[in-house]
Structure 1
Amino acid sequence: MFIKNNTVQLADGYLNKTPLFQFLLLSCVFALWSAAAALNDVLITQFRSIFDLSHFASALVQSAFYGAYFLVAIPAAVVVKKTTYKFAILLGLALYILGCLMFFPASVAGTYTMFLAAIFCIAIGLSFLETSCNTYSAMIGAPNHATLRLNVSHTINAMGYIVGLLLGKYLIFQEGVNVEQMMASLQGAELEAFKMQMLQQTLAPYKWLVGVIATVAILIAVTEYPRCKAVRGEQQTAPSFGETLSYLIGNRRFLKGVVTQFAYVGMQVAVWSFTIRLALELAPGMNERDAANYLLYAFIMYFLGKLVANYLFTKTSQENVLQLYSTLGFISLVYVALVPDFSAVWVAVMTSAFFAPCWATIFASTLQAVDTRYTETAGGFVVMAIIGGAIVPVIQGAVADAVNMQLSFIVSACCFAIVFSYFMAEKKHKQSAEFLALQPE
């Protein structure tokens, strides 16, 4: 190994301090999977026009993407448990590269199904990355800074959304071209040639991603990483999967965290999936590249929201911060759903700031409700909750088809209400625990 680890691991798996280079390199992986997620939002708009899809059918891009998380998260957690976090990360990066390469035959075949298969393969790799990296970021240092570390990693994750959207905007969308209008004006051989040209453009960002992913994988491979797993005594054996499952099912705080993560991810994916479409519907004549600017602004707000949240975490409890963010987010999404003018797009953009601390804080808070013997598998179950990103957008898409695009955002508003109720319950739990701790024995 070229870069050594000089930390001391504690019995519970945490470290005496955070190894800075290892942590920053690990955090770079967070940006890689958010870049792929941002490209999905561009692909939904592109595929809907090229393949003449309904809002419901175009949302299947997210179903393929996040459905893979649901199927692979527990196998990924088993890999982490049997091997190391580092091995699982390298395996995830290799599968990510394979999925990117599958875009090349998909663009030649020119079928929606082939593209969904490539996206599914990418998501399998990302499931390994999220299952390992989220838990690892929380563990790679002192336990009292676990939530802060995870939020710092997710601040870098926010930058990946911006980069992914820029790649999609400039390499997939053509300047001054409205794909839907162009296709309506063409027919026969000209129409088929235009479709193939548009599909070929989807390859460009994935060529760049392959190079970046390979570079990060090489750096991780030559860097020594700590194990960050709880040390067991001579008489203590690792819990079986059945024992772990029984424990987690009986842990109500853990289950509430999983449900909340499901609702949050579904809401975030749904809002971002339909932001471009909302702008196009409220401003007829706008082209896809110009409409993508609003999603870019949303990702910038997401990044800024993380910076503000990280500061607020130093001033008050994470429960207070998340209750504030979820209240403002709920109000914003109700506005998007009910106010019938273009200001709704700007409010949808602003809502992304209130998404910012949700995933990392829900993840860390849920793991804190679990005994460290079950951490690896528990992390896998929390990542499985990403299936919300496969289900909620489809529900919102169905509402958009049945009623209208704007009113469909009420689905996401309901999800923000679930986030609020979770952190209200967490605050009450911690206050009760503090009260009991102060009572004389």
Structure 2
Amino acid sequence: MKKQNIIQLPDGYLNRTPFVQFILLSLLFPLWAVAASLNDILIAQFKHVFELSDFASALVQSAFYGGYFLIAIPASMVIKKTNYKFAIITGLLFYIVGCSLFYPASHMATYTMFLFAIFSIAIGLGFLETAANTYSSMIGPRKYAILRLNISQTFYPIGAISGILLGKYLVFQKGASLEAQLATMSPAEAQAFGLKMLENTLEPYRYMIFVLIGILVLFIFTKFPSCKPEVNSSKVTGKTPGIIETLKYLGGNKRFRNGIAAQFLYVGMQVTVWSFTIRLALDLNPDINERTASTFMVYSFSAFFVGKFIANFLMTRFSPSKVLVSYSVIGSALLAYVAFVPNMTAVYAAVAVSMLFGPCWATIYAETLEVIKEKKYTETAGAILVMAIVGGAVIPAVQGFVSDFFGSMQLAFLVSMACFIYVGCYFFGEMKKQSASVQPSEKPVESV
């Protein structure tokens, strides 16, 4: 049987998905997951070494996701002028540079220098996510765009778990918790001990550099389809739309604005829950150390992985919006449990919430991108959706501030609960719009 050639359609989608390119593209997702999960390790490490408040320790996420926010539009412009592959290679190069900056940061031993290294990594990841999320949804038939992106996102927990394990065994040490050890030391001993702990933060990034170089080489020597929609020269005189025209079009699309808000709050909620799970475990059980507490993050990312598979199965039978409404209701109830039950079962509830995070990002991203009917605005729309990741810079700081203000790490989880409630309301609204768009005489076609 003759193999069907891959053909790019006028809207940028392909007649079939190139398997090798799709797998290689999906391998980018665990790469930024490693960096994101290592931030959860760094927050716990920096909290005591630098004697930070909960708000100040959350600035790790502010530096990380702030980089995403600033680079997304420039990254979309690079994609528009070149292609997705070039943007991915650019992102990998910045990622390598950012990891390399942990060498001077671990020796200078200043919080600011670590934040700068994290920010540099985020610039690379901004390029990667802006390109890879949109590219994954488009590298195949249009009707499977959401499913394809969810499959790529399924690789995310693999990287997240790897990042936590790297941090658990290379950054955290055996023995009592950092807070307990530092409490028994003189100022000079504490300073020397702190410097040693900071040097440990370099180790995971040393290994990451070699992995990134390998992936970079594979991308350089692999051919990828363009997946960029054709421009009708008779309508637009061969010119691509300018940024002002694009923002005006996108700003006038109410469903796009709602999707941006939902993505902002979802990412903020996910990052916040994962940022403070280790701290929550240490608060509720002072007898454990950071290495033991980090095991709960392994459970969290395992739950995230399982949740994505369950969601992928459910979304072949029900619309994504229906699935996500159910997930949001259960997730909000679990976060209320985390906030009000003062024992270790609250930590397990925080772990369980991760199972419900799985399909949110990809579904919001793909569905919001689908409301853009003029595909010439796709690259910038995808960049703005990536910019919504800045929620990961804002919501953890808000929850950290609430924790400091009320003196309660648990009560602060109500901030995350409020975010999940909004996400549920967003998907409920989308579900109603989708139902209203089906004619009474028609049988609804469930999304895949």
Q: How far apart are 1:409 and its partner, in Å?
A: 0.4
TM alignment of 1:73-112, pairs within 5 A: 73-112=72-111
Query: Letter of the aligned partner of 1:58 in structure 2?
Result: S
Task: Please tell me whether the aligned partners of residues 176 and 288 of structure 2 are also in contact (alpha carbons under 8 angstroms).
Answer: no
Which residue does the alignment assign to 2:285?
Answer: 283
Q: How far apart are 1:314 and its partner, in Å?
A: 1.0
Which residue does the alignment assign to 1:211?
Answer: 210
2:39 corresponds to 1:40: yes
Which residue does the alignment assign to 1:303?
Answer: 305
Structure 1 alignment gaps of length 5 or more: none
Aligned length: 435
Task: Please tell me whether the aligned partners of residues 43 and 60 of structure 2 are also in contact (alpha carbons under 8 angstroms).
Answer: yes
> For each residue in 1:98-146, what CA deviation from the matched residue of structure 2 results, as whole angstroms up to 9, or x when unmatched?
0000000001100000000000000000000110000000000000000
CA distance in 2, matches of 1:41, 1:342: 19
Which residue does the alignment assign to 2:388?
Answer: 385
CA distance in 1, matches of 2:122, 2:170: 21
Q: How far apart are 1:437 and its partner, in Å?
A: 9.5
Q: How far apart are 1:183 and its partner, in Å?
A: 1.2
2:168 corresponds to 1:169: yes
Which residue does the alignment assign to 1:135?
Answer: 134
Which residue does the alignment assign to 2:379?
Answer: 376
Which residue does the alignment assign to 1:434?
Answer: 438
Which residue does the alignment assign to 2:155?
Answer: 156
CA distance in 2, matches of 1:401, 1:27: 39
Q: How far apart are 1:232 and its partner, in Å?
A: 1.4
Query: Letter of the aligned partner of 1:422 in structure 2?
Result: Y
Which residue does the alignment assign to 1:354?
Answer: 356
Name the SS for the 2:155 alignment partner: helix
CA distance in 2, matches of 1:191, 1:410: 35
Task: Please tell me whether the aligned partners of residues 138 and 364 of structure 1 are also in contact (alpha carbons under 8 angstroms).
Answer: yes
Q: How far apart are 1:170 and its partner, in Å?
A: 0.6
Q: How far apart are 1:338 and its partner, in Å?
A: 1.0
CA distance in 1, matches of 2:242, 2:119: 30
Name the SS for the 1:228 alignment partner: coil
Normalising by structure 2, report the TM-score.
Answer: 0.95
Which residue does the alignment assign to 2:402?
Answer: 399
In structure 2, the CA distance between the partners of 1:436 and 1:113, relative to structure 1 (3 Å rule), is: farther
Aligned-pair identity in percent equals 53
Which residue does the alignment assign to 2:346?
Answer: 344
CA distance in 2, matches of 1:41, 1:6: 45
Task: Please tell me whether the aligned partners of residues 280 and 347 of structure 2 are also in contact (alpha carbons under 8 angstroms).
Answer: yes
TM alignment of 1:243-282, pairs within 5 A: 243-282=245-284
CA distance in 1, matches of 2:222, 2:204: 28
CA distance in 2, matches of 1:335, 1:13: 45
Query: Letter of the aligned partner of 1:109 in structure 2?
Result: M
Q: How far apart are 1:209 and its partner, in Å?
A: 0.5
Name the SS for the 1:434 alignment partner: coil
> For each residue in 1:151-186, what CA deviation from the matched residue of structure 2 results, as whole angstroms up to 9, or x when unmatched?
001000121111111111111001224111111111
Which residue does the alignment assign to 2:223?
Answer: 224
Which residue does the alignment assign to 1:113?
Answer: 112
Structure 2 alignment gaps of length 5 or more: 444-448
CA distance in 2, matches of 1:6, 1:77: 29
Task: Please tell me whether the aligned partners of residues 273 and 416 of structure 2 are also in contact (alpha carbons under 8 angstroms).
Answer: yes
CA distance in 2, matches of 1:163, 1:296: 9
Task: Please tell me whether the aligned partners of residues 6 and 19 of structure 1 are also in contact (alpha carbons under 8 angstroms).
Answer: no
CA RMSD of aligned residues (A): 1.3
Q: How far apart are 1:190 and its partner, in Å?
A: 2.1
CA distance in 1, matches of 2:399, 2:51: 18
Q: How far apart are 1:435 and its partner, in Å?
A: 2.2
Q: How far apart are 1:234 and its partner, in Å?
A: 2.9
